[in-house]
Amino acid sequence: MDLDFNKEQKILKSSARDFLKKECPTSLIREMKNDKKGYSETLWNKMTDLGWMGVIIPEEYGGIGGSFLDLSILLEAMGEVCCPGPFFSTIVSGGLAILDNGSEDQKKALLPDLAEGRIILSLGLTEPGNWYGTENIAATAIKDKENYIIEGTKLFVENAHIADYILCAARTGENMKSKEGLTLFLVDSKTPGIKYKLLDTLAYDKQCEVIFDKVKVPEENIIGKEGQAWDILESLQEKAAVAKCAEMVGCIQTAFNMSVAYAKERTQFGKPIGAFQAVQHHCANMVIDVDGSRFITYKAAWKISEGLPASMEASMAKSWVSNASRKVTFLGHQIHGAISFCDEHDMHLFYRKAKAAETAFGDGNYHLEKVAGQLGL
Amino acid sequence: MEFKFSKQEEKFRTEVENFLKEELPTDWPDKSMHWPGGYGSIEIENKENQRIFLEYRKKLAKKGWLTISWPKGYGGEEHSYMEQAIFDEVTSYYRATASGISTGIAGPTILRFGTEENKKDWIPGIANAEIDLWLGYSEPNAGSDLASIQTTALKDGDDYIINGQKIWSTLAHESDYAWLIARTDPDGHRHKSVSLFIVDNNTPGVTIRPLINIVGVHSFNEVFFDNVRVPKKNIIGQENMGFYYLMTALDFERLMVGIGGFRRVFEQFVEYVKQTEKDGAPLGENNNVRQKLSEIAVKIEIAYMFFWRTAEMLDKGNVPSVESSALKLVTTELSRNLADVAMEILGPYNQLMPGSEWAPFSGMAPRGYLDSISATIGAGTSEIQRNIIATRGLGLPAR
Ligand SMILES: Cc1cc2nc3c(=O)[nH]c(=O)nc-3n(C[C@H](O)[C@H](O)[C@H](O)COP(=O)(O)OP(=O)(O)OC[C@H]3O[C@@H](n4cnc5c(N)ncnc54)[C@H](O)[C@@H]3O)c2cc1C
Q: Give the domain-ending residue among A186, A204, A228.
A: A228
Q: List chain B residues with CB under 8 Å of A202.
A: 350-353, 366, 369-370
With CB atoms and an 8 Å threshold, state whether B344 touches A363: yes
Same domain, A182 and A245: no
Question: Could you report the predicted ipTM of this complex, rounded to two decimals?
Answer: 0.97
Same domain, A272 and A248: yes
- Cα distances from B295 to residues B288, B298, B310, B334, in angstroms, run 11, 5, 23, 11
Residue B144 Cα: closest atom of ligand 1: 29
Alpha carbon distance B35, B258 (integer Å): 10
Dump strand ranges (E) for A106-164: 121-124, 140-144, 147-158
CATH of residue A186: 2.40.110.10
The distance of B162 to chain A (nearest Cα, Å) reads 23
Residue B95 belongs to a domain: yes
With CB atoms and an 8 Å threshold, state whether A338 touches B370: no
Q: How many domains does chain A have?
A: 3
Same domain, A112 and A140: no
Rg of chain B, C-alpha, whole Å: 21
Residue B260 confidence (pLDDT): 98
Same domain, A235 and A366: yes
Same domain, A281 and A319: yes
Same domain, A238 and A369: yes
Residue A1 belongs to a domain: no
pLDDT top residue among B29 and A120: A120
Same domain, B110 and B155: no
CATH of residue B325: 1.20.140.10
Residue B361 belongs to a domain: yes
Same domain, B346 and B368: yes
- The two most distant CA atoms of chain A are separated, in Å, by 78
> Within a 10 A sphere around the Cβ of A146, how many other Cβ atoms?
9
Mean pLDDT, chain A, whole residue set = 97
- B328 CA distance to ligand 1 middle (Å): 14
Same domain, B174 and B73: no
B144 shares contact with chain A (CB less than 8 Å): yes
Same domain, B274 and B387: yes
Instruction: Give mean pLDDT, residues A297-325.
Output: 98
The distance of A365 to chain B (nearest Cα, Å) reads 8
Q: What is the distance, to the nearest Å, from the Cα of residue B173 to the centroid of all Cα atoms in its chain?
A: 17
> Taking 80 as the threshold, does the pLDDT of residue B399 lie above it?
no
Same domain, A216 and A241: no
Residue A279 Cα: closest atom of ligand 1: 44
pLDDT top residue among B363 and B45: B363
Quote the domain boundaries for residue B344. 250-393
Of the candidates B397, B385, B380, the one whose C-alpha atom is nearest the C-alpha of residue B168 is B380
Residue B297 belongs to a domain: yes
**In chain B, pLDDT over 70 holds for what percent of residues?**
99
Same domain, B37 and B81: yes
Instruction: Give mean pLDDT, residues B298-313.
Output: 97
Alpha carbon distance A179, A227 (integer Å): 9
Same domain, A107 and A168: no
Same domain, A40 and A156: no
Chain B residues 347-366 with a CB less than 8 Å from chain A: 347-348, 350-358, 363, 366
CATH of residue A66: 1.10.540.10
Nearest to A356 among B142, B336, B351 (CB): B351
Q: Strand pairing of B133-136 and B177-183?
A: parallel
The tens digit of pLDDT for each residue in B126-140 reads: 999 999 999 999 999
* H-only helix segments in A129-226: none
A-B contacts (CB, under 8 Å): 128
Residue A192 belongs to a domain: yes
Q: List chain A residues with CB under 8 Å of B351.
A: 156, 199, 201-203, 207, 355-356, 359
Q: Is the pTM of this model over 0.80?
A: yes
Same domain, B74 and B31: yes
Q: How many domains does chain B have?
A: 3
CATH of residue B222: 2.40.110.10
Same domain, B43 and B178: no
Instruction: Give mean pLDDT, residues B262-287.
Output: 94
- B114 CA distance to ligand 1 middle (Å): 27
Same domain, B52 and B154: no
Nearest to B377 among A136, A201, A337 (CB): A337
- A265 CA distance to ligand 1 middle (Å): 15
**AA identity, residue A264:** K
- Residue B44 pLDDT grade (very low, low, confident, very high; cuts 50, 70, 90): low
Q: Under DSSP, is residue B34 helix (H, G, I), strand (E, B) or coil?
A: coil
Q: Which residue of A has its CA nearest to B215?
A: A343
CB of A280 closer than 6 angstroms to any ligand 1 atom: no
Residue B77 confidence (pLDDT): 86
Q: List chain A residues with CB under 8 Å of B363.
A: 200
Same domain, B199 and B107: no
Quote the domain boundaries for residue A311. 231-374
Same domain, A209 and A332: no
| Cβ-Cβ contacts under 8 Å for A254 (sequence gap 6 or more) | A79, A80, A81, A82, A350
Alpha carbon distance B306, B291 (integer Å): 23
Cβ contact B85:B308 at 8 Å:
yes
Residue A50 belongs to a domain: yes
With CB atoms and an 8 Å threshold, state whether B143 touches A338: yes
- B219 CA distance to ligand 1 middle (Å): 16
Same domain, A47 and A148: no
Same domain, B122 and B31: yes
Same domain, A216 and A286: no
Alpha carbon distance A169, A189 (integer Å): 14
Residue B349 belongs to a domain: yes
